[in-house]
Structure formats: structure tokens, C-alpha cells
Amino acid sequence: MQDLRTEPQKPAFRSGFVAIIGRPNVGKSTLINVLLGQKVAAVSPRPQTTRRRQLGILTRPNAQLVFVDTPGVHQARHKLGEFMNEEAEGSLEGADAILWLVDLTSDPTEDDLHIAGLLGNPRRKPALLLAANKLDLVAEGRATEQLQKYLALLPPGAESVLISAARGDGLEHLVELLAERCPVGEAEYDDEQITDLYEREIAADLIREAALLKLREEVPHGLGVRMDEYKERENGLDYIRATLLVERESQKAIVIGEGAKMLKQIGTEARRQIETMTGRRAYLELRVKVEKGLRNKESVLEQLGYKSRR
């Protein structure tokens, strides 16, 4: 008699682009970093650290998810803001799935309404998943209550998941749900690769992040970082030279600080982060320069790498 039993069918490999959208500070970069287990996207207690489109590549036995971390969506007040909005909308169109990340500790804001509007009316409609983050900060009952406020902004039937990027809750489930939304297909990237950014670009983000961290409230929003030199040396000590760009002389003085103390602190923190990222030792030389009208100059935006490289 013929044996009709077969080996259990292995699920087909799925592969796709997942656009992460969410207002500043909800935890997009944190989530990507936790999923990828390495520092790829800059994380900051202050909003708007992420300025450029970045890929984060997560490869699992059954799927490859390529996360696109979009710049924070907000009302465009300057050219930089406009560009960030365009980038965000652009990555939605090209995605296989959209992950909308919200913050359970707060009610929907104006920015959330704006995003919900974008998601309700795209030209193309990729699968949408709402992930409500920072579960570790809210009581259980309140979490569901908060989640409902966000779901109410979406068409009926939208799916959602409660997560904590910081504590790790719900992340495996999240990855599964996203993989299900991606088409069957082969991996686009090598399974060792976790980002398409070069180390020097990540280093620029880390320098910027260190500056924002140390400067706190005194931060000029238009602070830019220009990488002047990034040399990997045989002796294992990388040589990095970068310039912090500010808009006014007064800001330059703040960034340098008394006796260059602030600049030293920024440099030390940035170097530590860069060494963690590369696994090599680094020598970092930082300068500060005034670049007038930084935020409204298209050319400077391009030079700083804020313009996409497509």
C-alpha cells in the first residue's frame, strides 16, 4: 500500500520591505536596534535624531524583513522638515508592509492624526500593522484602552500588537505578523548583512546623537555633522575627522563649551559609541563650524547626506 503521509511542509520563505512609520520619539530606532541586536539607528531621548532613510535587515530561517526607518513625520516648517516628510511618504509607497509605531504612554497627537491620514489614503495599500510600544510603562488595563484610541483612527479591521522594544515583549509575535504580510520570495540581501549604510555614515549619526545627548536643551535643531575623513588603519586604530555644523556663532560657543569641555565630552561619548559599533578602536577629531541658514540650504542638506542617494 502506498504511504500517503508526507514530510510536514516547510513554510515558504518570505521576503519584503517593512516601512516603519511613527511620530518622533515613539521608539522606531530602538525597535530596529533591538531586532537587529546591534546599534544601527541612532536612538535619542530627544526627537528627530533619524534624518535619513536607513535599512535594517533582519534575516530569520523563514523570512527576511528589510526595515526602512523613516524620518519623523511632523509639520514641515523648514526645508529640512519638508524633506523628512517626503522621505517618509516615499518609503510607504515602496513597502510590502507598513508598521505604524505608536506610544502607549500618550494619547494620539496631531502628528499621529496626520500619519493615520496618510495611512488611510495611500495610492498603493501595503498591509498595515499597528504596534503600540512602551508596554513596560503602562498598567495592563490602560494598555488596551490606549490601543483602542489609536485603532479608532484606522479603518475597521486593522490589526495590532502590544510591544515593548525596551523590555522585548511581543517582538517575536511582531516579526511573525510582519513576515506573514510579506510576499513569498527569496532574500534580497546576504543573511550576514544588517544594514546598507557604511560605517562612516553610521558614525556620523552616532556623533550627532552624542552631541544631542550632551547638549540637551541647548541643542540647535539644525545641528549637522560632516564627515571629513574616515580611515580604517591596519593597526586597528581608525582615524576619524568630522565637523559639527551649527547655524550661529552663539551656538558654536555652546557646542565648544568653556575650555572646550563640552566638545571633549561629545567627542568621548561619540568615540565610545563608534568603537562599540565597529569593534575597533578609534581616534576622533571633532571641529565646530558655523554654516549660516543651514536648515534652508538644499545644497548643504545634500552635502550632509540628508538627500536620499537614490
* Chain positions contacting ligand GDP, by CB under 6 A: 22, 24-30, 43-45, 47, 49-50, 72, 133-134, 136-137, 164-166
**Binding segment for Mg ion among 27-35, 95-103, 173-181, 238-246 (CB under 5 A)?**
27-35
Please state the closest distance from residue 21 (CB atom) to Mg ion, in A: 11
CB-based contacts of 11, cutoff 8 Å, min separation 6? 62
The smaller minimum CB distance to ligand GDP, of residues 44 and 195, is found at 44
- Residue 24's binding partner among Mg ion, ligand GDP, none (Cβ under 5 to 8 angstroms by kind) is ligand GDP
In order, the DSSP letters of 118-140 are HHHS-SS--EEEEEEE-GGGS-H
The smaller minimum CB distance to Mg ion, of residues 28 and 271, is found at 28
Please state the closest distance from residue 225 (CB atom) to ligand GDP, in A: 17
Q: CA 280, CA 131: separation in Å to the nearest integer?
A: 35
Q: How many CB atoms lie within 10 A of CB 283?
A: 12
| Residue 258 DSSP class | G
- Residue 267's binding partner among ligand GDP, Mg ion, none (Cβ under 5 to 8 angstroms by kind) is none
**Binding segment for Mg ion among 23-31, 188-196, 265-273, 292-300 (CB under 5 A)?**
23-31
Are 166 and 11 a contacting pair, CB within 8 Å? no
Closest CA to 265 of 282, 251, 249, 284: 284
Secondary structure, 3-state, 40-92: CCCCCCCCCCCCCCEEEEEEECCEEEEEEECCCCCCCCCHHHHHHHHHHHHHH
Taking CB under 5 A as the criterion, the residue among 25, 33, 50, 85 binding Mg ion is 50
The smaller minimum CB distance to Mg ion, of residues 69 and 247, is found at 69
160 binds Mg ion (CB under 5 A): no
The smaller minimum CB distance to Mg ion, of residues 50 and 64, is found at 50
Q: CA 95, CA 45: separation in Å to the nearest integer?
A: 28
Residues engaged in binding Mg ion (CB under 5 A): 28-29, 50
